[in-house]
Amino acid sequence: SGESGAGKTESTKLLLQHIMNLCKGNSQLEQQILQVNPLLEAFGNAQTVMNDNSSRFGKYIQLRFQKNRVRGAKLSEYLLEKSRVVQQDTGERNFHIFYYMFAGLSSEEKEMYGLLDPSLYRYISGRFGTQDVAQRWKQKYQEVCNALDMVGFQEQEQVDMQAILAGVLSLGNVTFEPEEKNGSVKVSEASRGWLKAAAALLLEVNVLSQLVCCVLCSPWSPSVRCCCFLCADARDSIAKVAYGRVFGWIVCKINELLAENVDPDVELSEIGILDIFGFENFAVNRFEQLCINLANEQLQHFFNHHIFQMEQAAYKEEELPWETITFNNNEPILNLLLAKPLGLLSLLDEQSAFPQATDKTFVDKLNSSFKGNSHFQPGRGRVLGFSIIHYAGKVQYAARGFLEKNRDTLPANVRGLFINSITPLLSLLFTGKSLRLLQLAGLSIFLCPHQHSLMILMERMYSANPHFVRCIKPNSQKEPGVVDSQVVLLQLRYNGLLETIRIRRDGFSWRPSFEEFAER
C-alpha cells in the first residue's frame, strides 16, 4: 500500500521475481507469471499527474505452491477506471495501449483499422508526445505483442481486439445535433465519417446510430431524444463497456494460461499479493477517486486491526504489563461511507434507484444526513460537491456524474445488438457464456456495484495471514534521487507508521510457539 506513485506496482514485480528466484524459477509457468505484466500495464495503467505509470485497477495475484514449486496462479482485478477511456484531466493520458498502437502499428495496419493522425481523436485529447517518447512506445507495443503471443492469443483475436480499440477511438469523435423536423437528436453531419469508421469495426452504421441516439431511453432519462448531452453520455457508455469487456477478457485468458494442472485432491499452499491503487487527491476528484480512497480506508483499517488491536489484545490475554498505545482509528470514516441504511454509499444507491433523482438531490441528501459529522463538509462555491476528511487528509469531491457512474448499467437491447457485432470478438464478449467466465474470474466490476467488489477483496484479506509492505513516496515531483523530508513525514504520520515503530520497539520481537520453545 501507499500513495499513488509510491512504487507499489514496481515493488510487486520485484517481489514476484524474488519469489520465483527462491523457487529456482526455471519452469515455463514461473516465467509466464513474470511475463504477463507488460500486458496488464498496457491495458490497465495510464499517466496521471501523480505517476507516469499509474495502475488504474487493483489486482490480487494468488500464487499456488506444492513443495515450494509454483503450480498455478490466478489474477483477480478490481475497479478498472473505465471512465478514463472517455475523459482525462489536464496533464493526464488515456490507457497506455492507445498510444502504443499509434506508435507501433505499421501504415498498412493503421489503414486496416481506419486510424488517422492521433491528434484528431477526442478520447486521447490530441496529446501524443515527442519523437523519443513515440520510439519508447513503439518498443512497448512490441512487448505487448510478444506477451499476447506468449499468453496464447490467436492472431485473429489480436486483430479483433485492436479493431475494437480503434472503433472506440472513432466512436469518441461522433457528435450530435437536433433534428429540425421532429425535435429529436441525430448524429451531426460533420461526424458522419467518424460514425462510419466506428461502424466498420463495431456495429452496422444504422444500428450504431440508433444505439447512441436511443440507448438511454430508461426510467431515469425519459427525454433522451431531445438531449444531445444524453446521447454523448450514451456514446461514452458504449466505449467504456467495450473497453471494460476487452480488459476482462484479457484477464480471463491470462488465468486460463496460469491455472494449476494438478490433482484436485492435492493440497496447495498459497501466497497472495495485493497491488491496489494508492490514495488519491487531485485538483478534481470524482466518483472513481471516492472508490479508490474507500479501498484505501478499508486497507488502513485492516492494518490498524492487525498491528494495534490484535497486538494489544495478545498482551492483555497473556497478562503482560503494557501501556496502551493510542492510534488514529479511522472506523468513524468507514461508518460515514459504509453504514446502512444511512452511509454515503447507501444514500447513493437509494438515489440511483429514483428516476427523478439528480446529483444535486444526492448532495442535498448528504448535507442533511451528515450535518455536524466531523469527517464531512458540505461543498462551497458554485461547484456541486462535498468534502470528506480521510485518514490521509481532506479530499474535495465533485459530485457531477456520481449517479450515472454508480448505476453503471447496460440496457438489455444494447447487449443484444453487440452480440450481432461484425467483429467476432465483440460479439463473444457479450454472450452469456463470456459473462459467466468473467464472473468466475472474480471480475465483479461488470456485474455488481463497486462496493461489492471491495467487500469480496476484504473478505480475502481477513482470511489471510498478512504481511504489510508500506511504500513511501519520496517527493511529489516524480523526480529520482530526491527525498522531501516533509512529504515523507506526512506519509509516516497518516499511515500510523510512527505508532507501529513504537509498538514494535516496546513489544516482543520474537514470538515462538510453545512447541518451538519447548524443543529449544
Known binding residues for ATP: 2-9
- Cell readout for 147 is 506477451
- DSSP for 194-211, written as a single string: HHHHHHTTSS-HHHHHHH
Active site residue 5: yes
CA distance 420 to 423: 9
> Which residue in 465, 441, 403, 122 sits closest to 258, CA to CA?
441
Whether omega before 341 lies within 30 degrees of 0, making that bond cis, reads yes
Q: Which residue ranges are tagged as binding site?
A: 2-9
Catalytic one among 1, 12, 45, 55?
Answer: 55
Secondary structure of residue 241 in the 3-state scheme: helix
Element (H, E) at 451: helix 450-462
Active site residue 51: yes
Q: Which amino acid makes up residue 32? A: Q
CA distance 92 to 125: 10
Query: CB–CB of 399/383 below 8 Å?
Result: no
CA distance 366 to 377: 10
Enumerate the β-bridge partners of residue 58. Answer: 78
Catalytic one among 1, 4, 45, 421?
Answer: 4
Catalytic one among 30, 77, 81, 280?
Answer: 280
Cβ of 310: how many Cβ atoms within 10 Å? Answer: 10
CA distance 5 to 276: 11
Catalytic one among 12, 45, 48, 51?
Answer: 51
Question: Which burial class, exposed, middle or buried, applies to 87 when counting CB atoms under 10 A from its CB (0-12, 13-18, 19+)?
Answer: middle
- Cell readout for 428 is 463473444
Active site residue 278: yes
Chain-centre distance for alpha carbon 508? 39
Secondary structure of residue 502 in the 3-state scheme: helix
Active site residue 55: yes
Phi (first) and psi of residue 216, to 5 degrees: -95, 20
> Which residue in 47, 173, 186, 44 sits closest to 115, CA to CA?
173
Query: CB–CB of 33/63 below 8 Å?
Result: yes
Catalytic one among 104, 167, 278, 343?
Answer: 278
Element (H, E) at 360: helix 359-369
Secondary structure of residue 362 in the 3-state scheme: helix
Active site residue 280: yes
Query: CB–CB of 49/476 below 8 Å?
Result: no
Query: CB–CB of 15/469 below 8 Å?
Result: yes
Sign of the CA dihedral running 160, 163, 168, 171:
negative
Catalytic one among 1, 5, 44, 255?
Answer: 5
CA distance 44 to 9: 12
CA distance 345 to 316: 36
- Secondary structure letter of residue 127 according to DSSP: -
Catalytic one among 1, 9, 421, 434?
Answer: 9
- List the catalytic residues: 4-5, 9, 51, 54-55, 278, 280
